[in-house]
Structure 1
Amino acid sequence: MITQTSRSLHLAFWFAAIGLIVPACSGTVMRAPQDGSDDGAAASIDVTADATAVDDATADLSAPPDDVVPAVDSEPGDAPMTDSGPTPDLDEEPDVPDSVDEGQDVPVDIEADIGGVALEEPLGPALFAEWVTLGETAAILDAVAAWDGPVCDESGCLFVTESPEGTTTTTVLGEFNGWSEAAALALAPVPGAPGVFWGVLSPAVVAPAAYKLQHDGQWALDPSNPYVLFGGFGVDSALTPPGFGRIAVLEDVASPQLGNTRDCFVYLPAPYFEESNAEYPVLVMHDGFNVFTNPLAPFGTWDVELTADALIAAGEVEPVIIVGVDTDDRLQEYTWTPIDLGDGPLLAKAPAYVDFLADTLLPALSARFRTREGPASTGIAGSSLGGIISMWGAWTRPDAFGRVASFSGAYWVGEPDAAEPSGPPMHVLIDQNPKAIPPGGLRVYLDTGDTSSDGQTSYSSDSWVYTDWTRNALIRLGWDDHAGWDTDGTLATTPSDLPSSTAPTSVPHLVWSSEPADASWTDPERDLLCVVGHGHQHNEAAWRQRFGVALRFLFPPEP
């Protein structure tokens, strides 16, 4: 779990009071939006009930004046710290009104009508201030019930939040004010709405920024905001202007297949908040703690949200929902055959893990978010063991996954000289093709580096040789023989499985480039791309570099 029990209980009580319960995976989860918009489900909630989707309208953000206080990478000063950030004091629970049944639906469309007040403009700082001035309490309370986090427009960023019972002061501190208590934004109580505070940060931020609240000096995440950024002390609330994706957290997602729980981190692209009815493809990624920018990730991160934001904004990829799936048991969950790495054979839990992804997680995501269902719109990706389990998962569950990206896949698994006892390697499983997957039935991206951790280049580095054998098996079955790999134009149509001792200069391959080398790298008719990163080692920095090419290949923009 990434949040304190006291905070979860507090949020559960408050959101039960306004009757918002949303469906998700079995177990409890941290609040995330229903159907991609403005519902206010609880941070730790019952996931069996329905909720009403609400769309949030935000205006375009103009560039701020020159005197904008820049965002800084600073931490809250002397606040008490825990592994998940400054510790909020939320022991007091607000009263649940008798007139509201726990779990009841609260249908609100803030684009059309709130509290009987027809909206002629998007909800933002000016309109909310007008409501406060005019005493439009019903509209304010309905807006609070539908709130999906701060709203930014050219005039500033509007905060509306609920504070613990008895709170006298609520302030906002974040990267935009250097986490300074002296520069904190003081929120004002809303007349007629006990516990509701509001305020406007001006000028507005121009990029996502982390923040937290202080209730009478006690640190807390914003209970009215389901979106987060990862900081040096755990998760922070995210202040997100238009044009950027947002990350929600599903906490303690239960797996009946494995008998365990895990956190999942869900990136929703910027267009998700601009188009209320559109559905989006899904990319499931392993090692979820490393997928998004996270200073606590022990080996670095992929910064996937930064790459996705940039490529989506440039129109180079289709907007896609990206789900980082965490694990505490990667060695066993990411292997399909028992292997011995020196401490005895590992249990092969990959079949149960992949079934969890296909049969539990994907349906839950579809119930919760506006996903485009079906294998043609669903990808799976990862690196190292996460790379090979991606390929194995897509190969064994073609009913669930139609796109796969394997970065530096550990294709040594199953090789007779790699680890004992062991089963058949991936290229043999592809040759056997038990699911009879036809060419074009699976869009495959493979890559590898060519450099070991000591800086030596060889064909055996980073499983390059085994990656090639996997590619060759696909080509033998009819997957696209990408013309680019035949670098001298004289090789046979089907490449040979070269030995690991082959000199790298004698191995035909496509060289990775940050930009597609030719149009075929993003051709939706192609079903295979395999590239080699020169000078790339087996680490997150290399996978971060190559992720953009994979995303372009797997999810090219629709014509």
Structure 2
Amino acid sequence: MQLASDTLAGELIHRRFSSEIYPATTRDYWVYIPNGYHADHASSLMVFQDGYQYINPDKPMNIPAVFDQLIETGDMPHTIAVFVNPGEVAVQEKPDHHPDTLRSIEYDTVSDQYARFLLTELLPDALSGLNVSQDPKNRAIAGFSSGGICAWTVAWYRSDQFSKVLSHCGSFVDIRGGGVYPYLIRNEHIKPIKVYLQSGEKDLDTRYGNWALGNQAMASALKFKGYHYQFAFGQGGHTLEHGGKVLVDSLKWLWQDEPSTASQSAPAPAQYQ
């Protein structure tokens, strides 16, 4: 998205954080505060896994610039964003330029552990002094690959905290059991989650599974159960290129009010239970 020259940029703050839920790890995170933030008005919240990939201006996303524009034009609410990197372990075995991380343990594990880390450790630190909505409909979570399934997992276990999910090439395969989600969606009660999935024909195909098929199985299960979802399936591979091209549309859709009639590529809104 081309940033208008007169758009006023928000503030981006960088910090380091040590975790107790993931012992002996530290991580970088960034907090984006939009231009026009006022403490007397609760802002919406969006959390991004693999945070630096989403703020790097040389990569396809460049979320701060996109948020600046969409907030200014009224296409999304005033939203504070938190960009979280995976935890780096204290004792490194790889070269310094490529530190060991707990990325797969944190992101691919099908449990509430990462949600607890966010809600009880990192977000209280990141959002200290900021007025952020506690309404789950005003709180979204996103990620790429393992970060994409992580975003879904957080909402799945804590839909009382996050009801919007944006997943780019999500790893809905059997790295750490994530391939079970289509079955769980079909067989458990509907959760109040609105989700935008993106993948492509040339997405990964490894011993853990096929990413394109995994995302197609997710979309099929969401449709079967009656979730409010969109699925952008292109021709690309396991990158953020396609996700970047549909980013503006995906954010507009994710943050818009529930439509009175479903779009052609999405089912009717679910009756939340």
CA apart distance, 1:282: 0.6
Query: If each structure's helix is expressed as a fraction of its own residues, which one has the higher value?
Result: 2
Q: 1:552 aligns with which of 252, 258, 262?
A: 252
Paired position in structure 2 for 1:477: 225
Paired position in structure 2 for 1:361: 122
- Contact 1:378–1:400 at 8 Å: present in 2 too? yes
Are positions 1:465 and 2:216 aligned together? no
Q: Which amino acid in 1 is paired with 2:255?
A: F
Are positions 1:400 and 2:161 aligned together? yes
Q: Which amino acid in 2 is paired with 1:468?
A: Q
- Contact 2:114–2:154 at 8 Å: present in 1 too? no
Paired position in structure 1 for 2:181: 426
Query: If each structure's strand is expressed as a fraction of its own residues, which one has the higher value?
Result: 2
CA apart distance, 1:366: 4.1
Note the 1:199-278 alignment, pairs <5 A.
243-251=8-16, 253-259=17-23, 260-272=25-37, 275-278=38-41
Partners of 1:284 and 1:437 in 2: CA distance: 23
Partners of 1:389 and 1:429 in 2: CA distance: 15
Partners of 2:67 and 2:257 in 1: CA distance: 13
Q: 2:104 aligns with which of 331, 336, 352?
A: 331
CA apart distance, 1:286: 0.3
Which 5+ residue runs of structure 2 have no aligned equivalent? 87-100, 259-273
Q: TM-score with structure 1 length normalisation?
A: 0.39
Partners of 1:462 and 1:312 in 2: CA distance: 36
Partners of 2:140 and 2:128 in 1: CA distance: 18
Q: 1:285 aligns with which of 22, 43, 48?
A: 48
Are positions 1:445 and 2:204 aligned together? no
Paired position in structure 1 for 2:79: 320
CA apart distance, 1:304: 0.8
Change (3 A) 1:276 1:394: closer
- Contact 1:282–1:379 at 8 Å: present in 2 too? yes
Are positions 1:531 and 2:198 aligned together? no
Q: Identity, % of aligned pairs?
A: 25
CA apart distance, 1:452: 5.1
Partners of 2:165 and 2:215 in 1: CA distance: 14
- Contact 1:387–1:408 at 8 Å: present in 2 too? yes
Q: Which amino acid in 2 is paired with 1:532?
A: F
Partners of 1:477 and 1:540 in 2: CA distance: 28
Partners of 1:276 and 1:358 in 2: CA distance: 21
CA apart distance, 1:465: 2.2
Q: Which amino acid in 1 is paired with 2:26?
A: T
Q: Which amino acid in 2 is paired with 1:261?
A: T
Note the 1:35-184 alignment, pairs <5 A.
none
CA deviations over 1:261-282 (Å, ceiling 9, x no partner): 212111111121xx45222111
CA apart distance, 1:405: 0.9
Partners of 2:183 and 2:246 in 1: CA distance: 27
CA deviations over 1:143-183 (Å, ceiling 9, x no partner): xxxxxxxxxxxxxxxxxxxxxxxxxxxxxxxxxxxxxxxxx
CA deviations over 1:115-138 (Å, ceiling 9, x no partner): xxxxxxxxxxxxxxxxxxxxxxxx
Change (3 A) 1:422 1:451: closer
- Contact 2:134–2:161 at 8 Å: present in 1 too? no
RMSD: 2.8
- Contact 1:293–1:305 at 8 Å: present in 2 too? no
Partners of 1:267 and 1:257 in 2: CA distance: 24
- Contact 1:408–1:448 at 8 Å: present in 2 too? yes
CA deviations over 1:219-257 (Å, ceiling 9, x no partner): xxxxxxxxxxxxxxxxxxxxxx97211201122x23221
Q: Which of structures 1 and 2 has the larger relative contact order (alpha carbons within 8 angstroms, sep 6+)?
A: 2
Q: Which amino acid in 1 is paired with 2:236?
A: H
CA deviations over 1:303-347 (Å, ceiling 9, x no partner): 11121112222222222111110113212211115xxxxxxxxxx
Partners of 1:391 and 1:292 in 2: CA distance: 21
Partners of 1:368 and 1:537 in 2: CA distance: 40
Paired position in structure 2 for 1:411: 172
Change (3 A) 1:452 1:445: closer
Partners of 2:242 and 2:102 in 1: CA distance: 24
Q: Which amino acid in 1 is paired with 2:18?
A: A
- Contact 1:280–1:320 at 8 Å: present in 2 too? yes
- Contact 2:112–2:153 at 8 Å: present in 1 too? no
